[in-house]
Amino acid sequence: MRRFLTSMACFLLLTGFAGTRLAFAAGGGQQQATTSQPKAAADSTDFVGQETCATCHADVATKFGTNPHSRLALQHAGKGVTCESCHGPGKAHVEGGGDVTKIRRFDKLSAKDVSATCLGCHAGAHPNFDRSPHAKANVSCLGCHSVHAPEAQEHLLKAEQPKLCFTCHSDQKAAFDMPFHHPVNEGAVSCSDCHDPHGTFGNNNLKSTADQNMICTKCHAETRGPFVYEHAAVKAEGCVGCHTPHGSQNARLLNMPNINVLCNQCHSRVANHTINGMGAGSDELAPCTSCHTYIHGSNINQAFLR
């Protein structure tokens, strides 16, 4: 690997792909960067350097000094991410006195081409983007990020969560105003705690925990198990078999107002079981969980009793 990197670096130096070399230094998806960055046969002499851009775009260049993309530039004595790493070689643009057709303008690119430019360096951290519902719906990186004018404090986001997400997902807003909800509006949980907007291997952009369980058990560890006596429902249907994750009219975010009705969807067979003379199990009587307390699984009782 090291050998490969070294020879790659030599190759880049020899051929003078300045933009590519920068991408290479950025870490993350180096290999992708080397194949997708250079537009046609850009020559090192087509690059003019950031100082030149700054002569005409002083405002943008000054502000860029505090951009996270400049961090690397500082670390590598100006050889990090510069204007031309994203906008492409600028010589023709400059010689044309600022000819806008000779420079990469992001508002003129397709969503796919925008994301490809960014993924040239970021594919390592976000390898699933191309197959994400966002990419498939033509939402590019710039649907959520702005390089020069981000509004959020962190991650160059266009707005803080959840406002950012609600600008497009207004349908989801009502759920978080329900009497019982994950405290997203309150700022205690964010959409990206459960979803990775850059895509995942699962459905709905859902994150999973390291052990491939649903992300829920990361915060609700007591439900994780493994248990000596598992409740097959948890394993088979996942948490959403019984809970509505965003918000619900029902306490404990349950899918149904009546616990016994919820249980009897699958357990009608025992709907009227009588135990030690106690009538139990019908919809009107004590909730099933008053006896079957450890409903997510138990290490001591097969029927999840106390």
Among 106, 109, 111, 200, binds ligand HEC (CB under 6 A): 106
In the complex, least distance from residue 5 CB atom to ligand HEC, rounded to whole angstroms? 16
In the complex, least distance from residue 1 CB atom to ligand HEC, rounded to whole angstroms? 20
Determine, following the binding rule CB under 6 A, whether residue 303 of this chain makes contact with ligand HEC: yes
Determine, following the binding rule CB under 6 A, whether residue 9 of this chain makes contact with ligand HEC: no
In the complex, least distance from residue 274 CB atom to ligand HEC, rounded to whole angstroms? 9
Determine, following the binding rule CB under 6 A, whether residue 79 of this chain makes contact with ligand HEC: no
Interface segment toward ligand HEC; rule CB under 6 A; list 9-17, 38-46, 290-298: 290-298
C-alpha 163 chain-centroid distance: 15
Determine, following the binding rule CB under 6 A, whether residue 219 of this chain makes contact with ligand HEC: yes
Determine, following the binding rule CB under 6 A, whether residue 18 of this chain makes contact with ligand HEC: no
Site size toward ligand HEC, by CB under 6 A = 133
Interface segment toward ligand HEC; rule CB under 6 A; list 3-11, 38-46, 230-238: 230-238
In order of 5, 42, 103, 131, the CA distances from 94 in angstroms are 33, 15, 9, 37
CA–CA separation, 48 vs 55, rounded Å? 11
Determine, following the binding rule CB under 6 A, whether residue 239 of this chain makes contact with ligand HEC: yes
Determine, following the binding rule CB under 6 A, whether residue 199 of this chain makes contact with ligand HEC: no
Determine, following the binding rule CB under 6 A, whether residue 102 of this chain makes contact with ligand HEC: no
- Residue among 223, 218, 225, 228 at smallest CA distance from 243: 223
CA–CA separation, 179 vs 177, rounded Å? 7
Interface segment toward ligand HEC; rule CB under 6 A; list 3-11, 38-46, 66-74: 66-74
User: In this structure, what token pair is assigned to residue 227?
Assistant: 């248990």
Determine, following the binding rule CB under 6 A, whether residue 43 of this chain makes contact with ligand HEC: no
User: In this structure, what token pair is assigned to residue 67?
Assistant: 């951009």
Half-sphere exposure of 19 (CA within 13 A, CB side): 27
Determine, following the binding rule CB under 6 A, whether residue 243 of this chain makes contact with ligand HEC: yes
Determine, following the binding rule CB under 6 A, whether residue 21 of this chain makes contact with ligand HEC: no
Interface segment toward ligand HEC; rule CB under 6 A; list 1-9, 10-18, 38-46, 127-135: 127-135
In order of 190, 225, 272, 273, 287, the CA distances from 277 in angstroms are 48, 33, 12, 10, 16
Residue with tokens 């106390």: 306
Half-sphere exposure of 243 (CA within 13 A, CB side): 17
Do residues 126 and 116 lie in contact, with contact meaning Cβ atoms separated by under 8 Å?
no
CA–CA separation, 54 vs 17, rounded Å? 21
Interface segment toward ligand HEC; rule CB under 6 A; list 2-10, 38-46, 102-110: 102-110
Question: Integer distance in angstroms from the first to the last C-alpha of the chain?
Answer: 56
3 or 66: CB nearest ligand HEC = 66
In the complex, least distance from residue 85 CB atom to ligand HEC, rounded to whole angstroms? 4
Determine, following the binding rule CB under 6 A, whether residue 137 of this chain makes contact with ligand HEC: yes
Tell which positions 143-182 bind ligand HEC, by CB under 6 A: 143-149, 154-157, 161-162, 164-165, 167-169, 172, 176, 182
Residue with tokens 């609600």: 166
Evaluate the CA torsion angle 214, 218, 219, 223 in order and state its sign. Answer: positive
In the complex, least distance from residue 16 CB atom to ligand HEC, rounded to whole angstroms? 16
Residue with tokens 């397709």: 110
Determine, following the binding rule CB under 6 A, whether residue 262 of this chain makes contact with ligand HEC: yes
